Each structure stands twice: as C-alpha cells, then as structure tokens.
Amino acid sequence: MQQALANMVKDDLKAKTFSSGSKGFHATGKITVDGDRYQAQAQAVLIGSKADPKVKVHAKRDEAVSVLAAIAENLAPKTFSSGRTGYYATGKAEIGGQRYQVQAQAVRL
C-alpha cells in the first residue's frame, strides 16, 4: 500500500490553490494493491495560507513529494464515515522552511 501511494504522489503531485484559499500541493488517483482498487489522495497545505492570501509557497515540488511519500509509511487502517475501509495518515511537516498540514488516504472502492 505504502509504495503504491508513494508512486501515485511522485507521478501526480501538483501545486494547488484550494477552494478555501489555502495553498499547497495535492495528488489524487486510483491505485491497485493486491487486487483491490483504492481512490487515493495526498495533500500538503501551507499552514496560515488561508488567512493570508499574500503568503507564497516556498517549497519545491520534489521536497513535497519526499515528505508525502514518507507520510505514506505511516498509513494506518481506517473505517471512514462513509462506511468504506482503507488507510489514512496525517501530521505536520516542514517543507521548504514552512510548516504544512500533511495528509494521505486510500479508500477501498
């Protein structure tokens, strides 16, 4: 699971301004692990960027890829509010000298 999610992050991670106004990085895609399909996503949101629209992301894409691939190592089984099962990890990390809220999940389809 961890390697499949890390590969998805490496292939699909892009800089993003979220609908909330926050800035950071986001990747999403479908992955297959042991014959099971998952909808996976990972994101790194710059803390404080929603409150200050002038703040700029200093992190490079490759730095964010490394951090999000590493958080995939911490995936834990989870039952989501939808009743679906999968894996989830969250935390805070420094990327490019800035603090980010990072999160990754894979929901079984």
Q: Tens digit of pLDDT for each residue in 32-65?
A: 999 999 999 999 999 999 999 899 999 999 999 9
Sort strands 98-108 and 36-46 into parallel, antiparallel or unpaired: antiparallel
pLDDT digits (tens, 9 = 90+) for 16-31: 999 999 999 999 999 9
pLDDT given for residue 53 in this prediction: 85
Whole-model pTM: value is: 0.94
pLDDT given for residue 3 in this prediction: 94
